[in-house]
């Protein structure tokens, strides 16, 4: 119930105004977001990379409604990638991109988002790194997979994301588990109807395990994005079972969530990539994080009340 309400609120401009203008929202947000500027995110990237972690940087923003805004976000990614090239992190710091931020929902949006994504991929290549296409609301999945296919013709290392809550997730994973294919597997963070998605936690977890089996047995590069201790343990077991070297897959977690576990896995020799968002458009991202975990709602409300 709370999850549904928070996900609905993530699309509500009224709630958005209240949360954004609450006096202490920003300081709470800093737990999950690197800051508002490229300089902020580069400082945090530096710290994480020095700690032996990998990073994927997300410029916050989604559901762009004007072409000019989509161009501006594309340019922001290009500038960020220039700075990553100067810093010389290579594949240790890549970027994650939401196609709706690059114009996917505009008239002729698929073409616009593809063009913009090509520019981001070209800048990433210059920085010797990669791009992963975040997966968003279920209504965008087919279009995102089509754009991925196009992009991979020129940029074969472009990463895909599959959401285990989708009923078709296992089938998508089987299609993508081929040589050179980078695939992030996550549970899925949006509201989706019963007809397209599993809604119960157990059903989603079981789907995650089935998808992980397919990806870990396949020839691609799995990126296992979860904080769930049970799933992380199963991932380790599947790596042994499939005789996967520790550099042939990676764990991924969100910035600010289970940082001790991120370090523990790294110390055990695993590769861990931290999803690191920055920018002013933090509202939708924050609401999805709150929806995932009631404890975060308590933390947020307590912070608002106590300062």
DSSP-derived secondary structure for the chain = -HHHHHHHHTT-HHHHHHHHHSTTHHHHHTTT---SSHHHHHHHHHHHHHTT-EEEEEE------SHHHHHHHHHHHHHHHHHHHHHT-GGGEEEEE-TTTTTTTSTTHHHHHHHHHHHHHHHHHHTT--EEE---SGGGHHHHHHHHHHHHHH-TT-BEEEETTBTTHHHHHHHH-STT-EEEEE---S---TTTB--SHHHHHHHHHHHHHHHHHSSSEEEEE---HHHHHHHHHHHHHTT--GGG-EEEEETTSSHHHHHHHHHTT--EEEEEEESS--HHHHHHHHHH-HHHHHHHHHHHHH-
Catalytically annotated residue among 92, 184, 273, 289: 184
Letters for 157-176 (x = contact with ligand FDA by CB under 6 A, - = none) are ----x-x-------------
Catalytically annotated residue among 58, 92, 118, 134: 134
**Per CB under 6 A, 207 contacts ligand FDA:** no
**Per CB under 6 A, 42 contacts ligand FDA:** no
Give least dist CB 192 to ligand FDA, A: 9
- Near ligand FDA by CB under 6 A, which window of 61-69, 121-129, 173-181, 219-227? 219-227
Nearer to ligand FDA among residue 239 and residue 253 (C-beta): 253
**Per CB under 6 A, 292 contacts ligand FDA:** yes
Letters for 241-280 (x = contact with ligand FDA by CB under 6 A, - = none) are -----------xxx--xx----------------x-----
Long-range contact pairs involving 260-269 (C-beta distance under 8 Å, separation at least 24): 261/227, 261/229, 261/232, 262/53, 263/51, 265/232, 266/51, 266/52, 266/53
**Which residues in the 119-148 window bind ligand FDA by CB under 6 A?**
134-135
Give least dist CB 13 to ligand FDA, A: 21
Nearer to ligand FDA among residue 17 and residue 206 (C-beta): 206
**Per CB under 6 A, 59 contacts ligand FDA:** no
**Which residues in the 182-201 window bind ligand FDA by CB under 6 A?**
186-190
Site size toward ligand FDA (CB under 6 A) is 22
Q: Are 190 and 164 in contact (CB under 8 A)?
A: no
Kindly tell me which residue out of 168, 227, 244, 263 binds ligand FDA, with binding defined by CB under 6 A. Answer: 227
Give least dist CB 297 to ligand FDA, A: 11
**Per CB under 6 A, 81 contacts ligand FDA:** no
* Residue 134 annotated as catalytic: yes
* Residue 184 annotated as catalytic: yes
Residues binding ligand FDA (CB under 6 A): 134-135, 161, 163, 186-190, 225-229, 252-254, 257-258, 275, 292-293
Which residues have a catalytic role annotated? 134, 184
């Amino acid at each position: 119930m709370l999850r549904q309400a928070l996900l609905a609120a993530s699309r509500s401009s009224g709630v958005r105004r209240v949360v954004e203008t609450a006096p202490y929202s920003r300081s709470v947000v800093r737990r999950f977001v690197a800051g508002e500027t490229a300089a902020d995110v580069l400082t945090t990237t530096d710290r994480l990379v020095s700690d032996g972690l990998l990073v994927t940087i997300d410029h916050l923003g989604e559901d762009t409604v004007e072409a000019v805004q989509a161009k501006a976000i594309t340019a922001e990614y290009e500038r960020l990638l220039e700075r990553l090239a100067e810093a010389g992190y290579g594949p240790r710091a890549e970027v994650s991109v939401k196609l709706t931020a690059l114009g996917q929902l505009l008239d002729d949006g698929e073409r616009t988002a593809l063009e913009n994504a090509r520019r981001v991929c070209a800048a990433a290549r210059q920085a010797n790194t990669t791009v992963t296409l975040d997966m968003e609301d279920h209504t965008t999945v087919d279009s995102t997979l089509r754009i991925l296919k196009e992009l991979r013709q020129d940029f074969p290392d472009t990463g895909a994301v599959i959401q285990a809550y989708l009923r078709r997730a296992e089938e998508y994973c089987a299609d993508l588990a081929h040589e050179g294919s980078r695939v992030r597997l996550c549970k899925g963070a949006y509201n989706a109807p019963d007809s397209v998605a599993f809604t119960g936690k157990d059903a989603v977890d079981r789907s995650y395990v089935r998808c992980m089996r397919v990806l870990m047995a396949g020839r691609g590069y799995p990126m296992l994005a979860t904080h769930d201790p049970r799933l992380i343990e199963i991932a380790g077991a599947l790596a042994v079972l499939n005789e996967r070297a520790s550099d042939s897959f990676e764990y991924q977690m969100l910035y600010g969530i289970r940082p001790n576990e991120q370090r523990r896995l790294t110390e055990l020799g695993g590769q861990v990539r931290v999803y690191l968002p920055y920018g002013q458009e933090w509202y939708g991202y924050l609401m999805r994080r709150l929806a995932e975990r009631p404890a975060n709602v308590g933390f947020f409300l307590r912070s608002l009340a106590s300062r």
